[in-house]
Structure formats: structure tokens, C-alpha cells
Structure 1
Amino acid sequence: MPVSRRRFLASAAATAAGVHTASAAAAVKKPASTSKRLGLPDPSTIKVGDPADLSLLECASLLQNRKLSSVELTRACLARSRARDGETTAWIRVYPEYAERLAKAADERLAPGSEKARRRKSPLVCGIPLALKDLYAAKGLPVTASSQVLAGNVATGDSTVWAKLRHSGMVLLGHAHTDEFAFGVGTPQSGNPWNPACSPGGSSGGSGAVLGARMVPAATGTDTGGSLRLPASACGITSLKPTFGRVSAYGVIPLVWTRDHCGPMARSAADVALLLSYMAGADQDDPSTLAGPAVPSGGYPHTPTRGARPFAGKTFGVARESVDELPAATAKLFARFLDEVRALGAKVKTVDMPVIPTGTIGGVSSLAETGVYHQQFAPASTGRYRAELQAVVAASIGAQALPVSDYLTANRDRTRYMHEYNALFAREGLTCIVYPGSNVDGPTRKTVAGLTIFSLLAGSVTGNVVWANLAGVPALSTPIGRSDATGMPFGVQIGMRAWQEAELLQLAVDYQAAHPYWADAPKPLATPRDIPTSKVITGPKGKPDPTNTDAKHPAFQIIPTLATEPA
């Protein structure tokens, strides 16, 4: 997409003024005319021909001002998906009838003077199509973790995230592929929209690909070892791994309960902020969500800070050992990024990150939790996992026989890592920490085939991503341009301390307003595909968990801390 398009979008973003959560939006009287009062771009500045090309904020502006219907937008996204998903195969299923029904209900809700409008003002995400990662339960629809082990499995209830988004009027277009049960750092079923021979990242690669290919404006993902951030870097989009417990994981098929983070994916940081505003919050079904501060009453920020130097007084810490491993082309992009943040007023300094404790990545603390979940499928279904996962699943089930002291020691080490991470921020006066998005410039699908988050070899491709999962802190991935060697997108990870989503999103919005690389789009793939479809099954019966599997979270959970040393 041309630079002029990026400049236009940056200018449009600068006119927006605020965001409301679902509850806050309901309490605010919606003006009949200006989008400015709605906290959205002026609809008269939105000059996109195909509705499928619209960003989340642009969709919201046109829908709220009734310049576009949800039915029209939903049909455009389905048409775009069928026209382009032949080589990416990012969707595992779409739900045309269900989506049409939800879109019509959204239009009714958005209609002026309707009974529903009088009772409850429409949230700003009302009517916007969404992709769920194929781990999130939606009642009456398949949820299969992109695995033959769960072929034919139908959700018996809604995940908390989907329940929140459905209540807010969003339209479920379909489920996007995940690496099988979210084990891997790639998503082998799917191709990257910038080059289908390349990986879209994993395990939320399907979500990354549908966003990058402009098939849908919003998606969800999960992140146990970089699985929100890796697809964002690979596909040229934006994602946020929130603080552990910021977004409920109830009704989401788990990989490692104490490391699984659910989060938003979209094209820009502003879009991600709006989506998070409707996803986040306390949930009695996931006690980890009760530990942190409340979601900001006005939602998460999506408007740029005024002035030419929004980063004045901020210090970016760079983990130099990770940067030194970069190929020349992406090292050049990373160096340019640092120059860009300096020009916005930031101070940049090299720092030494705490050492990752042994046993916390592929050791018993992770494998044992995975085994607790997957033992329900053994031994009858063991052969239905793809070949390279069968040994990992067997090892995870076997890990339950190891001493419980190993598990407890690993989690004590993890708490110590949290303290050391916080101490680094305090000692160095850091605002944020910065890591490259990956170690490899445009990894091919073959490069990442078979690599799981439990494999130490995965680090040679992904770089360091587990720091944010172990610390439980928010980490955002933003595009910083494309490699002049491969033409593929590349991003950076930016992390802060626990519960600082608002500050992190503001920083990312400010950066993207000045450098809107997120607005670049790949050349359209004219590769049609007859995507599998499903209809809602009324009243499905099965296990009480919404996923229709034994996915109940254990009472033991990690609680993020701001402490710098044990109490």
C-alpha cells in the first residue's frame, strides 16, 4: 500500500478522541453527527472502496454513523475471504448463516430510534466482523484446536471472551487455524499473505494471516510462548499479549494454564486498544482475572499524544544479546526503529535482561500442565496427533510422574524472574523493554515445521519471546517495516510491567501515528477457496466446560507482581 495511504491513516487517527468500554459506551449519549465525539475518525475522511479493507476504527466510524451496514461489511469480508484464502488457508471454518444473523441484529441495534437503541446504546465494536482462534469456544459451533483429535467437537458454551464480544454486538465470521493445540511456533496449515511459502507465525498464525490478507478487521489469539507476537511480526499487523489475568482464558482450550495469555489482534495499535476494551475484565470463572486493577473506565487509549516528541522522558531498554543475532536486513530495520523512537524524544540504552531460569521453558513446570489436559485423549487418540507432536504429548503425560518438588521449584524460580524483571526497570529507570520480533528474516513454513514452544531449538527462530510469558507482563508487537532482502514484514516486541496495558498501548499508538507501517498491505492473492462452513447446533450436550473437553483450570495460578524482591 502506498506511503500516502499510511500518511492519510496517521492523520485520520490523530482526529480521534477517546474510546469507551462496553459499559462506558452504554452510559454515554451518542451524538447524531460527529464521529469526533464518538472517539472515532471522521467518516468523511475514510476513502476505502471495498469495506473489507477498512481498519477496526474505520469500520466503527462508518457503522456508528450509519454510512455502512454490518450486513454489507460482513458480506464483503466473507467475499474477500473466499477470493483470497486459496494459498493462505487461514480459515479452518466460516459461519455465513450465523454471521448474517449477528450482522442483522447489529444493524437493528445500530438503527436510530429502535427499541434496542433506546434501551442500550450500541458499543463501538457493534457490527464488526471477528475471527476467533480455533481454541475459543462459541456455543453450538465446532472448536477443534485444528486437530483431528477433536474432529467433530462442538462447544457446549461460550468462552468468556466471545460472550463479551457477542454481547457487544460483534459478528463471528469464523474460526482461524491454530498450530495443532497451539503447540508450535508456526502454523503449518496456513501460509503468510505476503508470501504463502513463508510461515505466518504461530500458534495464532491463522488469525495473523486473515488480518494481514485483509479478510477481517479483528481477531483473537493466545500466547504461551510468543504466539500472539510472532504472527504479528510475520504478517505485518499488531497484537498485544496482556498481563496474565487481564483477559479471561475461560472456555479457551489450554496449552499451559499458568502461561496461557488471551489477547487481541488487529491491524493497528489503536484497533487493538479498542478491541481489548471489550475483551478485558474480571471473570469469576477465571480467578486470575480478579488479581489486578480494574479496566480503565474510559477504555484503553487509541489517540496519539499531541506534540512532536511524545516519548520525551521515556527510556527504552534494548536487550542487546538478542539484537546481535539478527540478519543484516532486519538488523537495519531494528536500528532504524531505534532512531525513530529517539527522534520522538526517547532515550535508548542497552540492558542485560535477567537470565531465564532453567526448567521453566520445556521443563516439568510446563510439560506437566500440558499433560494434565492431554491425558484425557490417551491412549485412544494418541495416533491422531500429527506425527511430530506425538512424542511431545507422550512426554507431557509422562511428566506428571516427576516429583512435585520439581514443579514447585520451577514456579519459585519463575517468581524470582518476575522480581528480577521489575528490579531491572527500577534500577535502569526504564519505561519499556524492546526485543526484535524474531531472529529469522521471513522464515519459511519448512523452517518452523515441527518446532514447539517446548523445544529449545525454537529460540533460534523465534528469538526470545518467553520473557514476557514468564514475567506475566504485557508485550505488544508493532510492525516496523519490511526487509529489503525478503520483502517480508518485521516487527518489534515492546514490554512494560504488569498491568501497564494503557501505557503500553499509548506508546504504540504514538509510534504508529508517526510511522504507520501497519497500513502497508500485501499484494492481493487472487486464489479463491471454498472454505468449509458450519451451522450453529442448538443445545449441544457434552462436558460442562464450554470447550466440551476437560479444560477446567487448576486452583493454582501465577499472579503477576510489581515487587522487586520477595516480601
Structure 2
Amino acid sequence: MQLLLSRRSFVRSAGIGAGVAATGLTNAVVAAAPPIARRAPGLPDAASIAATDPAMLSAVEAASLLQARKLHPVELLDACIERSSAFDGATRVWVRTYPELAHEQAERAADRLAAGNAPLICGLPIAVKDLYAVAGLPLTASSRILDGNIAAGDSTVWRRLRDSGAVLLGHVHNDEFAIMTDTLQVGNPWHIDESVGGSSGGSAAALAARFAPLSIGTDTGGSLRIPASRCGVSAIKPTFGRCSKYGIIPVVWTRDHPGPLGRSIADASLLLSYMTGADAFDPVTAIAPPVPDGGFPIAAVGGDKPLAGKRLGVPREVTERLPAALATLFARFLDLFTALGGETRDVTMPAEPEGLLSKDAVEVGLYHRQWADRLSSYQPPTAAIVGMGLAALASPAVDWWQLARARASYQRDYNRMLEDSRLDAVVLPGAITDGLPRRTAAAVSILGASTVPFAWANYTGVPVLSLPAERSAVTGLPFGVQLGGRPWAEAELIAIGLELQAAAPVWRDIPPLSPNARALPQVSVCAPGPGPDPTNTGAAAPSFSFVPTTSTAPI
């Protein structure tokens, strides 16, 4: 891999000594480069990283090489674009790519890295779910409804990532308006005919296929955790309010969670550190505690029993429904936890209050009523859900407030379960079926019954990790688990995930994806839409919201 030099530095350096060739990195050029940066805390030693294709690097590996100036951001970006072009004909994760903008951002990242004070995320390419607004670029939510829509501004999350030097590779597919729990237009890199889950299916598939080292998605009812499990990657659904929702097309304002995905929890944790912070446009973010000094952890502590004293709750009423192959993988995951010093306890999750889904329907209707005269332009399953939402707008306001109170009570019940059993986290499967063929997948609505518990984490607002836990001996497909903790306790939860992945790095498995070339759809920046919301739609959130609490007091 080449030594990191901005092209401007390279040109300047090329004239300092006789015999300096413009086509190579001679001793004179190396001598003219800025001094090599010290190893950043938590990153692997750059000298220990061996890779011939930068696209195969994890995010923390790539960050280490970028910080040490042993890898140029443009080299990493080009490797991701080349791999996407060679393989995305089968997966079709990209809605649009932005090579011109991305190369400009990569060059700017190189300048910051050369100066020696760049954030750890600087220079890393990111795949962005087609819900996040980026000024002057299309934003379509993977729907015909928004054909031709141009974002009026930046979502807060993307603005923070951009300002930290991240590189926008492109927007990836989600289910239409992220309403369903599948992304049928995207093929699973592990088996193209299998479902990637949803709604952040493109975000997870892009990681598994090694098209990008990082991606961002959202989770309203499992939309980060389902695809992470089916694609064998890692994700973090943060506490509600940890990341701003401003400038993101909503599904349900009061339980939408922006969140990071990475191949490993270390990767996702690195990304999360740069997504967070108070935002006046999303007032719930003001109550979030500060991110730990230095960011969320990205390296395991290690040792013989690093999880000694940690207790994990296991809801057997859920795990007993697993098919044999997945039950074996789940049992192995629990065995790993105890082998590292942890303890498991059987628990019963609190029952979700009846009627919560009808409250969600009101929020769906409130957003989509701006296209009430265009129901035929939606895909049929989406149209049915939007129709339900529009009908729910006629329900009495008192019903909504009663359900909001029931949700607050439910969150406290969850907190009390953790406290009474002295738990650090609970663990649930990330899937109940061993694979799900795309041709037969009936996308399950966030407003309908689900065979896998996911909404518990959105109603409580607590942080959850999605961790790959090996692959099925029957289908060869990945299987993941959910690890849920206490409100605002991302750092403690991530620390557990880091130890588990250090002991069993199954996230390093690479899917057997065959080459299938595709001319990637490319778009350049144009004039922003009129707004005023960054999404250029009526996406502004109401002034009321759910607020997470650590209280265990009954209501």
C-alpha cells in the first residue's frame, strides 16, 4: 500500500532533489512527507495489518492505516468503488453513488490526515441509507413517490460525519419508506436468493459484500438488527435520543433510531462516536449523557475472564422457538459468554402493552398524508400500511396519550426486570427462521405481528447490539443475536460485545460472492431543494416525543 501523501504534497515534494521520479515514492518524497502519526488509542497496530485489497479492511484496520499514513483515502475509496462495480450486479445495494463528490472528500481527508490531527473516522467511505438527507443530492426513500426529490439540506448525522472527514460513497436501498422488515430489491451476499432483512437491508449487505467499511441505517422495529443478523455483520441501535433524527425521513418519529453498522462492533462503535451529540432540531438529544472521553470503546480489554461479574438475562420463551440449527448457535453464544466469565439467568420479558401499534399508525398517517392522493404510486404492501395510518388519524387523541403512558410504564417494567435480576443485559435471537428466500418472503409490516421480538427495544428506547453468532450448519447463512442493555449504557454494552468478538471473531467471515459487474448509478451534486426540512418533504417532527428514563418506579 502506498504511503499517504496528498497529491498537492506529492507535487511539492517531487521537486526537492535530483532524480526524484514523478511516478514513484522515492526517499526524497518520503522525507518530505509529514511525520508518521502516533498509533491512535484502541486502533490495531498498522504494522500488524496485512491486506492486498483495501476494500477488505475493517473500519478500524483502515483507520489505523490512514492515521499512520500507510493508506491514502483515495486508494481506499477506489478499492470500494471497484469492488462494488465488479459485484453489485447481483446484490444491487446501491441506489446512487457519488464518485465525484467522494473523491473531493477523500482528497480533503488526505490533507487533514497529513496534518496529523484528523479524527479517527477521517477518510473512511460510508454507505448511507436512502433516508438521510445530503444537500443537493437525491433522496428517494427507495420509492417512486419521491422520484426527482432533491434534499434541501444535510441531516444532522451526516453533517457530523462529513465535518469529521467521512467520505460519502453513496445511498443504499431500504424497503420503501423503511416501513417493512425486508428489502426485497437487494440480494444477500451469502446467497443472492436469500433475504437481507430490512429495512436497512442495503446498509447491511454493502458491509457484508465489502463495498464499504461502514454504513448507517435506522431502526424503528428491528431495521438495523434484522439485516445485521441475516448478513452476518454488526450494528448498534443506540438509546433513543443518542443520535439526532433531524433530516432523516421518518417512519414513526417517537421510535425511529438512527444507528451505525460495521463488520465488527469495534467498527460500529467507532462510527457511533461521530454520530452523537445534542441537536436543537431534536430536543431529546439534549438529555443524553456525554460520550466517554476518547469516544466509545473500540478495543477489547482481554484477559482470561474479561466478562467476570457480568450477568446476561435469557428469555427462554423466545429462544425455545428456534429451529435446531439456530438453537445450537444460540447455545454456543451463551457458552462463549460463560467461558469468558459471565453468568446467565433465565428471565421473562415484560409484556408489551396492547394497542401500541395503533399509536404508531397515527404517526405513519401524519407523515404520509402529504401524499394521500397518490396511494397508487406506493408499492401495494406500503400502500396498505399508509392507508391504515391515514385511517388512524380519525382516532380520538386520548387514545394516543393513553398509549404513550402505557409505553412509559413498559419502559420502567423493563428497567425493573434488569434491576431485580441484577442483569447487565438481555440476549435474544436476531432471527427465528434459518434463512428466508426472497421469492417467498412476505415482508412483515412494523404495524403487524412479528415472530421475532424487536419492538421491545424501540418502545423502551434502550441500546442494543446486533452480533453475528456463526453460521447455520444447515443453510450456511449467518445468524445474529441481540444484546440489549440499560438506557444510555452504550459504552458498557459495547465493552461486552468487544470481548465476545475478540474471543470469537466470526464477523471476519467473507461471503462467497461471485463477480457480477454493474455500471453503478452515478450522480453529481446539484442545487438543493426548497425545503424547509432537509429531506425536502414534510418530515419535521412534532414538538412532543418519547423520552427515555432509567427509572424503575411504577406508573
> TM-score scaled to structure 2, two decimals?
0.92
Alpha-carbon shift at residue 224 of structure 1 (Å): 0.2
Aligned counterparts of 1:333 and 1:126: Cα–Cα separation in 2: 36
Aligned partner (choices 470, 474, 478) of residue 485 of structure 1:
474
Aligned partner (choices 170, 195, 200) of residue 199 of structure 1:
195
1:10 is aligned to none
Aligned partner (choices 536, 553, 556) of residue 525 of structure 2:
536
| 1:150-299 correspondence to structure 2 within 5 Å | 150-299=146-295
Would the aligned equivalents of 1:40 and 1:58 in 2 still touch at CA under 8 Å? Answer: yes
Aligned counterparts of 1:213 and 1:221: Cα–Cα separation in 2: 16
| 1:462-473 correspondence to structure 2 within 5 Å | 463-473=452-462
Aligned partner (choices 335, 345, 369) of residue 349 of structure 1:
345
Q: Which amino acid aligns with 2:420?
A: R
| 1:77-96 correspondence to structure 2 within 5 Å | 77-96=80-99
Structure 1 stretch 335-344 or stretch 292-301: which is displaced more? 292-301
Secondary structure of the residue that 2:96 maps to in structure 1?
strand
Alpha-carbon shift at residue 390 of structure 1 (Å): 1.2
Would the aligned equivalents of 1:186 and 1:445 in 2 still touch at CA under 8 Å? Answer: no
Q: Which amino acid aligns with 1:450?
A: A
1:28 is aligned to none
Aligned partner (choices 346, 359, 368) of residue 362 of structure 2:
368
2:22 is aligned to none
Aligned counterparts of 1:306 and 1:449: Cα–Cα separation in 2: 43
Aligned counterparts of 1:291 and 1:446: Cα–Cα separation in 2: 44
2:8 is aligned to none
Secondary structure of the residue that 2:297 maps to in structure 1?
coil
Aligned partner (choices 103, 108, 111) of residue 111 of structure 2:
108
What is the CA deviation profile of residues 297-331 of structure 1, one whole-angstrom value per residue up to 9, with x for unaligned ones?
Answer: 22101111231111111110001111011111000
Runs of 4+ with >4 A deviation: 31-35
1:420 is aligned to 413
1:18 is aligned to none
Would the aligned equivalents of 2:39 and 2:67 in 1 still touch at CA under 8 Å? Answer: no
Aligned counterparts of 1:37 and 1:469: Cα–Cα separation in 2: 34
Q: Which amino acid aligns with 1:274?
A: L
Would the aligned equivalents of 1:32 and 1:65 in 2 still touch at CA under 8 Å? Answer: no
What is the CA deviation profile of residues 108-146 of structure 1, one whole-angstrom value per residue up to 9, with x for unaligned ones?
Answer: 22124xxxx6xxx21111111001100000010011000
* 1:455 corresponds to 2:448: yes
1:429 is aligned to 422
Would the aligned equivalents of 1:181 and 1:255 in 2 still touch at CA under 8 Å? Answer: yes
The CA RMSD measured in Å over matched residues stands at: 1.2
Q: Which amino acid aligns with 1:367?
A: A
Q: How many residues align structurally?
A: 522
What is the CA deviation profile of residues 3-55 of structure 1, one whole-angstrom value per residue up to 9, with x for unaligned ones?
Answer: xxxxxxxxxxxxxxxxxxxxxxxxxxxx9546544432111111111110010
Aligned partner (choices 526, 537, 562) of residue 550 of structure 2:
562
Aligned counterparts of 1:394 and 1:515: Cα–Cα separation in 2: 46
What is the CA deviation profile of residues 334-355 of structure 1, one whole-angstrom value per residue up to 9, with x for unaligned ones?
Answer: 0111111110011111101100
2:29 is aligned to none
1:518 is aligned to 507
Would the aligned equivalents of 1:188 and 1:449 in 2 still touch at CA under 8 Å? Answer: no
| 1:500-511 correspondence to structure 2 within 5 Å | 500-511=489-500
Aligned counterparts of 1:237 and 1:450: Cα–Cα separation in 2: 21
Aligned counterparts of 2:438 and 2:348: Cα–Cα separation in 1: 32
Aligned counterparts of 1:46 and 1:374: Cα–Cα separation in 2: 48
Aligned counterparts of 2:235 and 2:458: Cα–Cα separation in 1: 14
Structure 1 stretch 246-255 or stretch 36-45: which is displaced more? 36-45
Secondary structure of the residue that 2:479 maps to in structure 1?
strand
Would the aligned equivalents of 1:35 and 1:43 in 2 still touch at CA under 8 Å? Answer: no
* 1:384 corresponds to 2:380: no
Aligned counterparts of 1:465 and 1:448: Cα–Cα separation in 2: 18
Q: Which amino acid aligns with 1:366?
A: D
Aligned partner (choices 79, 91, 102) of residue 76 of structure 1:
79
Alpha-carbon shift at residue 398 of structure 1 (Å): 1.2
Aligned counterparts of 1:432 and 1:308: Cα–Cα separation in 2: 21
Secondary structure of the residue that 1:279 maps to in structure 2?
coil
Q: Name which one, 1 or 2, has greater alpha-carbon Rg.
A: 2
Secondary structure of the residue that 1:413 maps to in structure 2?
helix
2:51 is aligned to 48
What is the CA deviation profile of residues 531-559 of structure 1, one whole-angstrom value per residue up to 9, with x for unaligned ones?
Answer: 21111003x23221100001001111001
Aligned counterparts of 1:515 and 1:327: Cα–Cα separation in 2: 22
Secondary structure of the residue that 2:104 maps to in structure 1?
helix
The share of aligned pairs that are identical, in percent, is: 51
Aligned counterparts of 1:354 and 1:85: Cα–Cα separation in 2: 42
* 1:329 corresponds to 2:325: yes
Would the aligned equivalents of 1:160 and 1:248 in 2 still touch at CA under 8 Å? Answer: yes
Would the aligned equivalents of 1:157 and 1:547 in 2 still touch at CA under 8 Å? Answer: yes
Would the aligned equivalents of 1:133 and 1:206 in 2 still touch at CA under 8 Å? Answer: yes
1:21 is aligned to none
What is the CA deviation profile of residues 34-82 of structure 1, one whole-angstrom value per residue up to 9, with x for unaligned ones?
Answer: 6544432111111111110010011111111111111111111011101
Q: Would the alpha carbon gap of residues 32 and 154 (structure 1) be closer, same or farther in structure 2, given more than 3 Å must change?
A: same
Aligned counterparts of 2:98 and 2:139: Cα–Cα separation in 1: 13
Secondary structure of the residue that 1:476 maps to in structure 2?
strand
Would the aligned equivalents of 2:43 and 2:299 in 1 still touch at CA under 8 Å? Answer: no
Aligned counterparts of 2:550 and 2:164: Cα–Cα separation in 1: 32
Aligned counterparts of 2:102 and 2:495: Cα–Cα separation in 1: 32
> TM-score scaled to structure 1, two decimals?
0.90
Aligned counterparts of 2:40 and 2:456: Cα–Cα separation in 1: 39
Aligned counterparts of 2:341 and 2:198: Cα–Cα separation in 1: 34
Alpha-carbon shift at residue 378 of structure 1 (Å): 1.5
Aligned partner (choices 55, 60, 64) of residue 63 of structure 2:
60
1:307 is aligned to 303
Aligned counterparts of 1:474 and 1:96: Cα–Cα separation in 2: 34
Alpha-carbon shift at residue 446 of structure 1 (Å): 3.3
Structure 1 stretch 323-332 or stretch 294-303: which is displaced more? 294-303
Alpha-carbon shift at residue 230 of structure 1 (Å): 0.5
What is the CA deviation profile of residues 188-232 of structure 1, one whole-angstrom value per residue up to 9, with x for unaligned ones?
Answer: 110110001111110000000000001100000100000000011
What is the CA deviation profile of residues 138-163 of structure 1, one whole-angstrom value per residue up to 9, with x for unaligned ones?
Answer: 01001100000001111010000100
Aligned counterparts of 1:446 and 1:429: Cα–Cα separation in 2: 44
Aligned counterparts of 1:443 and 1:245: Cα–Cα separation in 2: 32
Q: Would the alpha carbon gap of residues 187 and 354 (structure 1) be closer, same or farther in structure 2, given more than 3 Å must change?
A: same
2:538 is aligned to 550
2:19 is aligned to none
Alpha-carbon shift at residue 449 of structure 1 (Å): 3.1
Gaps of 5+ in 1: 1-30
Aligned counterparts of 1:468 and 1:551: Cα–Cα separation in 2: 23
